[in-house]
């Protein structure tokens, strides 16, 4: 197996279709295939062990991704928001490497030991060039590494997740129908290449035959403009992006993009009020919530359009709550909730989410496979399944607050706070407590004009949950810190709580 095979099939059956466009730069699927072959030759000639990119989205990303697969090298998309020591440390971990980057960084990085720098323009030139396209001679060993993806490091030093060809190919075959898209379909990709959703979007769209329109630097107004101009039918956004898009729509009074049929979201917990507003703004659009991890080659559970409509229209609180769930596992994925002793738990009980399936890697460079007996991957995410198999995510197990021996889930408390009419956003974290070891701290972003007090909200939590879950310290902030892919920076909340 090799991800190149996916592009080869696309090139054979839909070679004339536009595969990708970024600004004025357009590539058909056939041109991407030939370009991948030319850059593969270049990679081979370079004598390196990794093919890396340190750049915003452009056609260079899929070319490097597939070209690396062709040449038998792991592809490493690096986070271009990193600078200085953080970035140097990651680069050191992948030498000897060929690195594609922008002009400015190329200047800074040229001459480093073990790094061959190629600018984006040079790289696109090689791909577009007159070089011969090699025979399709890529390795088909499913165990070869397709992608090394550094995790965001919100909880420590970034780990390099290993995604082998078998994981990525299994994910695509299990979730995308070959040539399943109409000729006119187009997807707007605004997630960065160093995020697993960015990788998955490229592969699944090229396999489905859906034109990819890249938006390198997310901006809500630009997203809406491009969506209209390019007749975008599909898009994926992280929660913070969706929130800004709705703000922009509400502020401008414009209508939602007319061709947009399907809007998927994921990459972080979506606050219920945001999705509620989104469904009111995008009346003609189907919503899909995708839950997944880097270590699972992207999506493992989806809350589909019908689920969204059913939950939004439901009367029972149980059914309505599903709007905040991650939906049900993909048919190719098994999910179990287990307690600390590893025992599987029945519906309704909270524990650690375990997953199993062909696309699940659960492996990091230098740490080996974290899969346990039977091939299960403990995700370190806490959650539960309801009676009908809907998966609810509480957040990272590491974030669980241990108060006097009792485990409190921040997600559970946040859900209750979000239901309060005056709460726009919130975060619950553990805080040091002399008596209990840890206590509950909360940061609230009030809706504009609200004068709700800490006592009101403490009372609200007590009323809906047990009193031990009521935040003992509660602060009001103007906004919460998120990273650019929508992940709440809990460490920062924890550090800053009590400082203001």
Partner 1 sequence: MAALKAGSRLKSGVCDTQVMVIAAPDGDLDLTCGGAAMVDAAADAPGGDVDPSHKNGTQIGKRYVNEAGDLELLCTKPGEGSLAVGGDALTLKEAKALPSSD
How many Å apart are CA 65 and CA 52, to the nearest integer? 9
Q: Quote the least distance from Cβ 289 to partner 1, whole Å.
A: 8
Q: What are phi and psi of 110, to 5 degrees?
A: -60, 135
Contacts to partner 1 from residues 319-358, by CB under 8 A = 330-331
Give the single-character DSSP code of 399. Answer: G
Among the listed residues 245, 202, 241, the one whose alpha carbon sits nearest the alpha carbon of residue 225: 245
Number of residues that bind partner 1 (CB under 8 A): 40
Structure tokens at 94: 């992948």
Structure tokens at 463: 């009323």
Largest CA distance in the chain: 72
Structure tokens at 288: 């899909």
Angle between helices 60-71 and 3-14 (to 10 degrees): 120
Q: Quote the least distance from Cβ 139 to partner 1, whole Å.
A: 9
Among positions 9, 46, 445, 454, the unique one binding partner 1 when judged by CB under 8 A: 9
Pairing verdict, β 377-385 and 368-369: unpaired
Among positions 285, 298, 325, 379, the unique one binding partner 1 when judged by CB under 8 A: 298
Q: Quote the least distance from Cβ 5 to partner 1, whole Å.
A: 6
- Is 214 an interacting residue with respect to partner 1 (CB under 8 A)? no
Q: Which is nearer to partner 1, 190 or 409 (CB)?
A: 190
Structure tokens at 456: 């009101």
Q: Quote the least distance from Cβ 4 to partner 1, whole Å.
A: 11
- Is 5 an interacting residue with respect to partner 1 (CB under 8 A)? yes
Among positions 197, 232, 400, 443, the unique one binding partner 1 when judged by CB under 8 A: 197
- Is 13 an interacting residue with respect to partner 1 (CB under 8 A)? yes
Among positions 7, 39, 100, 200, the unique one binding partner 1 when judged by CB under 8 A: 200
Q: Quote the least distance from Cβ 373 to partner 1, whole Å.
A: 22
Q: Which is nearer to partner 1, 197 or 337 (CB)?
A: 197
Q: What are phi and psi of 421, to 5 degrees?
A: -60, -20
How many Å apart are CA 299 and CA 267, to the nearest integer? 10
- Is 304 an interacting residue with respect to partner 1 (CB under 8 A)? yes
Q: Please give the C-alpha separations between residue 494 and each of 170, 235, 411, in angstroms, as whole numbers.
A: 38, 33, 15
How many Å apart are CA 361 and CA 367, to the nearest integer? 12
For residues 133 to 172, the per-residue mask of contacts with partner 1, x marking binding by CB under 8 A and - elsewhere, is -------xxx----------------------xx------
- Is 33 an interacting residue with respect to partner 1 (CB under 8 A)? no
Q: Which is nearer to partner 1, 241 or 493 (CB)?
A: 241
Mapped onto helix, strand or coil, the DSSP state of residue 216 is coil
Which residues would be at the binding site for partner 1 (CB under 8 A)? 1-2, 5, 8-9, 12-13, 140-142, 165-166, 173, 175-180, 197, 200-201, 204-205, 208, 234, 236, 262, 264, 266, 286, 288, 290, 298-299, 302, 304-305, 330-331
């Amino acid at each position: 197996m090799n991800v190149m095979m996916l592009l080869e099939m696309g090139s054979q059956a839909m070679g004339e279709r536009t595969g990708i466009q970024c600004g004025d730069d357009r590539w058909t699927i056939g041109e991407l295939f030939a370009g991948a072959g030319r850059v593969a030759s270049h990679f081979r000639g370079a004598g390196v062990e990794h093919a890396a990119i340190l750049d915003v989205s452009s056609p260079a990303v899929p070319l490097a991704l597939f070209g690396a697969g062709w040449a038998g090298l792991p592809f490493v998309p690096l986070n271009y928001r990193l600078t200085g020591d953080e970035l140097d440390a990651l680069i050191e971990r992948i030498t000897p490497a060929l690195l594609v980057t922008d002009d400015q960084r190329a200047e800074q990085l040229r001459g480093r030991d073990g790094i061959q720098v190629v600018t984006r323009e040079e790289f696109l030139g090689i791909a577009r060039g007159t070089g011969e396209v090699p025979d399709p001679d890529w390795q088909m060993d499913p165990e070869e590494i397709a992608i090394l993806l550094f995790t965001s490091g919100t909880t420590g030093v970034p780990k390099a997740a290993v995604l082998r060809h078998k994981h990525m190919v299994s994910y695509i075959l299990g979730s995308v129908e070959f040539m399943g898209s109409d000729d006119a379909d187009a997807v707007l990709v605004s997630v960065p290449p160093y995020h697993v959703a960015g990788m998955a979007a490229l592969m699944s769209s090229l396999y489905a035959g859906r034109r990819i329109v890249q938006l390198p630097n997310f901006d809500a107004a630009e997203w809406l403009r491009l969506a209209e101009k390019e007749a975008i039918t599909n898009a994926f956004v992280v929660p913070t992006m969706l929130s800004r898009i709705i703000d922009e729509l509400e502020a401008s009074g414009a209508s939602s993009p007319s061709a947009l049929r399907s809007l998927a979201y994921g990459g972080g917990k979506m606050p219920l009020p945001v999705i509620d507003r989104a469904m009111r703004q995008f009346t003609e659009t189907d919503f899909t919530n995708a839950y997944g991890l880097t270590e699972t080659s992207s999506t493992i559970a989806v809350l589909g359009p019908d689920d969204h409509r059913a939950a939004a229209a439901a009367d029972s609180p149980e059914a309505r709550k599903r709007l905040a769930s991650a939906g049900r596992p993909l048919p190719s994925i098994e999910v179990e909730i287990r307690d600390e002793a590893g025992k599987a738990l029945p519906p309704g009980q909270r524990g650690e989410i375990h997953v199993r399936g062909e696309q699940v890697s659960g492996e990091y460079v230098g740490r080996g496979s974290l899969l346990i007996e039977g091939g299960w991957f403990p995700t370190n995410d806490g959650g539960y399944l309801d009676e009908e198999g809907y998966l609810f995510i509480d957040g990272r197990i590491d974030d669980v607050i241990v108060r006097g021996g009792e485990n409190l889930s921040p997600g559970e408390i946040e859900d209750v706070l979000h239901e309060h009419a005056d709460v726009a956003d919130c975060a619950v974290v553990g805080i040091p407590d002399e008596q209990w070891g840890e206590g509950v701290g909360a940061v609230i972003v009030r809706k504009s004009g609200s004068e709700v007090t800490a006592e009101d909200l403490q009372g609200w939590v007590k009323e809906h949950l047990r009193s031990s879950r009521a935040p003992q310290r509660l602060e009001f902030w103007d906004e919460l810190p998120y990273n650019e892919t929508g992940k709440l920076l809990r460490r920062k909340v924890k550090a800053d709580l009590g400082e203001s």
